[in-house]
Amino acid sequence: MTQVISFSGDFDFLDEIDQQLVVKVFENFYPKVKRMLSNEVSFEVSLKMYKRLGTRKKFAMGFRVVAPTDIFEVSAADWDLARTTHKVCDKMATEIEGRFHVSDK
């Protein structure tokens, strides 16, 4: 199974532990999206960190799923990276469900 997940933006400024966390969440989410769309998909994740040098950081994440039939885009922002990552994944699942009504099938 080939997973196509690309990261851009401030992803390189994250420390190793945070990068692993984000990659793990998206790798676990990939089969779910692939199953919902019944097709090969690719992920494009864009991360923006606000106040990089301060004590608290705010994270904004854009998430795009590119499938042969459609392109889905969502975004979320929060003060916690893990929460932001899960928010954007949940929004994507809701977006796909709303467009295709996958649970009805």
Query: Could you tell me the CATH number of the domain that includes residue 93?
Result: 3.30.160.100
At residue 1, the pLDDT reads 44
Instruction: Kindly state the tokens that stand for 15.
Output: 């420390």
> Residue 7: is its pLDDT beyond 70?
yes
More confident residue, 102 or 57: 57
At residue 74, the pLDDT reads 96
At residue 102, the pLDDT reads 67
Q: What H or E segment, with its residue span, contains residue 104?
A: none
Residue 87: domain span:
4-104
The answer to whether the predicted template modeling score (pTM) of the entire model surpasses 0.85 is yes
Q: pLDDT tens, 17-75?
A: 999 999 999 999 999 999 998 889 999 999 999 876 678 889 999 999 999 989 999 99
> Residue 104: is its pLDDT beyond 70?
no
d(CA 70, CA 7): 20
How many structural domains compose the chain? 1
